[in-house]
Structure 1
Amino acid sequence: MSSPAHPFATPLDLYRAIARVWSADTSSPTGAWSPSNPAQNHCSITSLVVQDCFGGDILSTKTSGGTHFYNVIHGVKWDLTASQFAEPIPYDDTPSTREATLADTSSEKYRLLKERLAAVV
């Protein structure tokens, strides 16, 4: 049996690591971030990393702040950035694509987040 391409057993393990590397320069838009709300504006970039590690689908929903991205893996919803919201998220589970999700951030921010994540595991 081959080992996985990532060191995370579950999305919760990934959350514990990625929450340590979210920052102003990986948020979308850049700078729309606060250390007191580290998940803020990291939904698209985090959804891409979750899919890299665990497969599954990226979904989106409309919130008062715009489009929010999250994942479904083996039928289970995983939203690693839900904590950025002060109110419940009105999930409508609209299918998204990697391209649409990446369009909400940038390739540069995605690479930067992946590099920082690799450095902490």
Structure 2
Amino acid sequence: MYTKKELLTAIKKSWSHQSSSKWSKDNPARGQCGVTALVVNDFLEGEIFKTWLDEGWHFYNVINGERTDFTREQFSYLIDYQDIDSNRTEAFQDTNDDQYSYLKSQVNRILSKAES
């Protein structure tokens, strides 16, 4: 099992236009919430939650009772988290097979290298 810090480092290195069409060099976390919540859930389990923002649903994780939002930095304002129960099916509606497979494989590759 990886730590949140190790996973966050690998995820940030993996974000690209292939994991979200909204990605940009200026804001690499933009549009990554659903796909990132799924990958975090794969590695650290926990639960997926959502909150409504002007941009639409924002997905994040709760791990061992602690809110963990790896894509918080995409927003220039404070989020008023509503902590609405969600799930993998809803989070997947924010991404697609190609983006999810890409991000998960890149994160796996980086974490595997770190173990070597």
What TM-score comes out, normalization by structure 1 length? 0.87
Q: How many residues align?
A: 111
Question: Deviation per CA, 1:68-90, whole angstroms, max 9, x where unpaired?
Answer: 00000110110000000000011
Q: Look up the match of 1:14.
A: 7
Q: Look up the match of 2:62.
A: 72
Residue identity over aligned pairs, in percent, reads 39
- After TM superposition, give the deviation of residue 60 of structure 1 in Å: 0.2
Provide the alpha-carbon RMSD of the alignment.
1.0
Q: Look up the match of 1:95.
A: 85
Question: Deviation per CA, 1:26-61, whole angstroms, max 9, x where unpaired?
Answer: 11xx2x221121111000000011111111110000
Structure 2 CA distance for aligned equivalents of residues 93 and 99 of structure 1: 17
Gaps of 5+ in 1: none
Structure 1 or 2: larger helix share?
A: 2
Gaps of 5+ in 2: 112-116
Q: Where in structure 1 do 4 or more consecutive aligned residues deviate above 6 Å? A: none
- After TM superposition, give the deviation of residue 115 of structure 1 in Å: 1.2
What TM-score comes out, normalization by structure 2 length? 0.90
Q: Look up the match of 1:34.
A: 24
